[in-house]
Amino acid sequence: MATLREIEPADPQAANALRTLAESSARMGGKLALQSFGKPLRIEWKEDGSEVTDVDRGVERAIVAHIRAARPQDEFIGEETLGFGGRSEAKIAPDQIVWVIDPIDGTRNFVRGAPLFACSVAVLRAGEPIAGAIYDPLRDEMFSAAVANGARLGSRRLNLESFDPPTRSATQRVVAIPSARDAAAPDAVHAIVRDHVVRNLGCTTLHMAYVAAGRFDAALKTTCRLWDIAAGALLIREAGGVCTRLDGSPLFPIDTTRYSGEKLPCLSASRPAHGPLLDLIRGNLPDN
């Protein structure tokens, strides 16, 4: 791997090398988490009421060390090192490569012994995802993508444009939703529940990976942050889907020089599902 060369966002070969490093990092992190799954954990509580464990922090440190060994010039935004409302101590240049890490997405599941969690590693340049990986250690499934290289599950290419779902009926679309209690737009969540088949795995990264794989038609996220969605958004885009903000505007680029944990509500979907769902959501946002 060319560790110190200039990486251009439109350079497919360089982006694919970053994908390879993202895959190895996510796989390592997921396997480390799996070693502690079902065992006693040291649990603390964040300001937002969510759990964090010593394993979350240890996995994130291990991933950062793994990437730094190959790319010492890059910077990092991690869920556990940045936290909510905090600022990274690193000074990130506008065009610098930034690795965005969610060491255990689905910590509440992890803590309770529910087998639904994943490790996500994304690579951003100029605020745009250019490579990323989401690894489910319990099912040994690696979802990954690189700009201009497509998305894949293991060695299988993901292509939503050629995917023919069992039904195209709106009432039978499978949509991942947030909890209406926690959602910034509860009326939109209730509208989706009323008219669609819904799922909530308690793991945003898997929701988005499943959209890219055609397992879900869409995923609505209202309280997610950059580390929850960076890899998944690229997966969906490279698979032929769409990921936007709830007003329909592009989700990226994100100003990584200023990002401090702000929420990034978004809708990810196959192209046939995105437009109708976006109209439904916009019609049920608080300002309407």
**What is the pLDDT, as a whole number, of residue 278?**
94
CA distance 209 to 243: 12
**What is the pLDDT, as a whole number, of residue 85?**
34
Cβ-based neighbours of 208, under 8 Å, separated by 6 or more: 134, 219, 229, 231, 232, 233, 235, 236, 243, 268
pTM score: 0.91
Domain ranges of the chain: 12-158, 161-282
**What is the pLDDT, as a whole number, of residue 252?**
97
CATH class of 161-282: alpha beta
Buried b or exposed e, range 111-132, using 16+ CB within 10 angstroms: beeeebbbbbbbbbbbbbbbbb
Residue 155 in tokens = 């060695």
214-223 per-position pLDDT tens digit: 999 999 998 8
**What is the pLDDT, as a whole number, of residue 285?**
74
Q: Which residue has the tokens 């869920």?
A: 79
**What is the pLDDT, as a whole number, of residue 182?**
62
Does residue 26 register a pLDDT over 80? yes
CATH architecture of 12-158: 2-Layer Sandwich (3.30)
Q: Give mean pLDDT, residues 284-288.
A: 68
**What is the pLDDT, as a whole number, of residue 171?**
77
CA distance 186 to 83: 25
Give the start-end residues of each E strand in the chain: 43-45, 51-53, 75-78, 97-105, 118-125, 128-136, 141-146, 150-153, 156-158, 174-176, 197-199, 218-221, 242-244, 266-269
Which of 5-9, 20-24, 123-127, 129-133 is least confident? 5-9
CA distance 263 to 283: 21
Residue 92 in tokens = 């990130």
pLDDT confidence tier of residue 5, bands split at 50, 70 and 90 = very low
